[in-house]
Amino acid sequence: MRFTTARLCGGKALMAISSDMMDIDMGRARETVAGWGCRIIQEDDMMLLFEWNGMETTLYPTGKVMFFPLEDKAACIRYATEILEQLR
């Protein structure tokens, strides 16, 4: 997978933006994430917010994944790849 990254929240959050067009089934994503033992914080058709590896993680249907707090771009891409590969 290929990504670009964006800094958000004054540099305390990073978002990985997939170069591939994605259309993630958010209901299936919720079931998968819950199966990992992650606490779901908020969800709707446009996003899924959950705790993952000590971070608030937000998943969007387009394949964007935001991590807070996180400042390491390489880790952001690695984590996003790990999550999205399991949701394909």
Region 74-85 average pLDDT: 95
Residue 87 backbone class (left: φ over 0; alpha: ψ -120 to 50; beta: rest): alpha
The domains found in the chain, sorted by start residue, are 3-87 (3.30.310)
Q: List Cβ neighbours of 53 (8 Å cut-off, separation of 6 or more).
A: 79
Region 66-79 average pLDDT: 95
Asked if residue 6 has pLDDT above 90, the reply is no
The pLDDT value given to residue 13: 93
How does pLDDT run across 9-39, given as a tens digit for each residue?
778 999 999 888 899 999 999 999 999 999 9
How does pLDDT run across 34-56, given as a tens digit for each residue?
999 999 999 999 999 999 999 99
